[in-house]
Amino acid sequence: MTVALLRLDTISQLSVPRGSTYVKSGLRRSQDIKTETIQAHLGINANQALKVIARAEPVRRNGPVSDGSRFKRVGIVNSTASPYKLERNVHSPIIMLSLQGKVVLITGLGQTSDEGWGIGAAIATLFSRQGASIFGGNRTLASAERTKERIEKEGGICDVVQTDVTDSDSVKALVDQCVAKHGRIDILVNNVGRSEPGCPATMSKEVWDGQIDINLNSLYLTCHYVLPIMEKQGSGAVVNVASIAGLRYIGKPQVAYSATKAAIMQFTKATAVIYADKGVRLNTVVPGLIYTPYTKTLAQRYDPGGDEAVYMEKRDAQVPMGRMGDAWDVANAALFLASDEAAYITGQKIVVDGGITSSTGRV
Ligand SMILES: NC(=O)c1ccc[n+]([C@@H]2O[C@H](COP(=O)([O-])OP(=O)(O)OC[C@H]3O[C@@H](n4cnc5c(N)ncnc54)[C@H](OP(=O)(O)O)[C@@H]3O)[C@@H](O)[C@H]2O)c1
């Protein structure tokens, strides 16, 4: 028997083949299913829809699913021509790391050129490949549209809006537009961040404040608007992007960056505990030295007029694995933390650094 599992709220975005029968649902109460939704998509009348609902029963996929989302799944059986990517035989292994039907809000998914991959762009693209709908906010709309184009070329769904993550009204508008389009937010990825050189003696107050704004206040703002939505849903996952500069001195003076990235990890832990019993998880991905288009900017910022190749070689040499990581290394860790496979993980961090923070630095 072929079974397609999908979230109830995504039914409205998909064309459910006629003749499909909803036989299982993980809803706590059968009344939670909207009669009109089932009517509209199965082309049946209200009485028939009510009968379908009455037959709903909890989904058990190889035992209990512990993330709370079982209460929002519906199974469709006997569909002859299922259009769902997640279609699978019940006896086959579980598809890992699926984000099918999930709505992802991500900041900083922009890409200034077609060359290479920024971390936000890679996360958005990977999450889309896993079945999620992407809704992104980025400072420069043109760079966000480049990522949107890449995702849509692969058949994914991505909307982008111009957003300044340091501005409360702008972040609220981003969140509102995502909810207006999708009705929910399942995953929030806080990716925007920037490093400016300096120690307290050399750094101007403007630079210091700017670092706090972009690296830390931005997280407060997105969480301020998104967490109440996730709490109401009873489910959600937040992935924050920190840096190993928040764990170690990594060879260049960037005290504000280090301080804010360390703060992100503790912000995540403390908030994770508060939200642990509300079905909302928060975790951090902690990249080491990663090669992205932004890394080229860093070369100029930290070694003005210097040879970019030498700067990159130095970064490679700092890593026990002998090379910088790339945006996909970070995206893979973010995907795990956002996925249902990490359903029992909250307040944690995954360090993606090729071994740097495990070494003494004398490699
Ligand atoms: N690259 C590394 O080696 C590395 C290492 C550790 C941690 N990280 C962290 O990983 C994250 C992503 O880094 P990345 O290298 O992928 O950077 P990136 O390529 O520069 O991407 C950052 C994105 O954020 C956008 N952005 C900047 N300021 C914004 C604002 N105020 N509001 C909204 N969007 C804004 C940029 O938009 P524009 O198109 O306008 O520029 C850009 O698209 C950052 O948090 C960074 O600290 C990076």
- pLDDT band, very low/low/confident/very high, at 89 (cuts 50, 70, 90): very low
Quick check: CB of 211 below 6 Å from ligand 1?
Answer: no
Q: What is each CA distance from 52 to 20, 25, 39, 42, 57, in whole angstroms? A: 11, 10, 10, 10, 10
The average confidence (pLDDT) of the chain is 82
CA of 117 relative to ligand 1 center, distance in Å = 11
* 103-107 vs 133-138, strand pairing mode: parallel
Of 11-15, 33-37, 105-109, least confident by mean pLDDT is 11-15
User: Which pLDDT score, from 0 to 100, does residue 40 have?
Assistant: 67
Q: What is the mean pLDDT of residues 290-302?
A: 86
Q: Which residues contact 319 (CB under 8 A, 6 or more apart)?
A: 288, 289, 325, 353, 354, 355, 356
The residue contributing the CA closest to ligand 1 atom 25 is 108
The residue contributing the CA closest to ligand 1 atom 19 is 118
The answer, yes or no, to whether residue 19 has pLDDT greater than 60, is no
User: Which pLDDT score, from 0 to 100, does residue 83 have?
Assistant: 40
Respond yes or no: is residue 257 known to be catalytic: yes
Quick check: CB of 76 below 6 Å from ligand 1?
Answer: no
| Active-site choice (22, 225, 257, 275) | 257
8 A C-beta contact, residue 193 and residue 261: yes
Residue pLDDT, tens place only, 179-207: 999 999 999 999 999 999 999 999 999 99
User: Which pLDDT score, from 0 to 100, does residue 66 have?
Assistant: 37
Quick check: CB of 132 below 6 Å from ligand 1?
Answer: no
Residue pLDDT, tens place only, 240-256: 999 999 999 998 999 99
Could you tell me the domains of the chain? 2-89 (no CATH), 103-358 (3.40.50.720)
Quick check: CB of 175 below 6 Å from ligand 1?
Answer: no
User: Which pLDDT score, from 0 to 100, does residue 30 have?
Assistant: 34
The string of DSSP letters for 92-157 reads SPPPTT--TT-EEEEE----SSSSS--HHHHHHHHHHHTT-EEEEEESSHHHHHHHHHHHHHTT-E
Residue pLDDT, tens place only, 26-83: 333 333 456 676 666 566 777 766 665 555 443 333 333 333 333 333 443 333 333 4
Q: What percentage of the chain has pLDDT greater than the value 70?
A: 75
Quick check: CB of 219 below 6 Å from ligand 1?
Answer: no
The answer, yes or no, to whether residue 9 has pLDDT greater than 70, is no
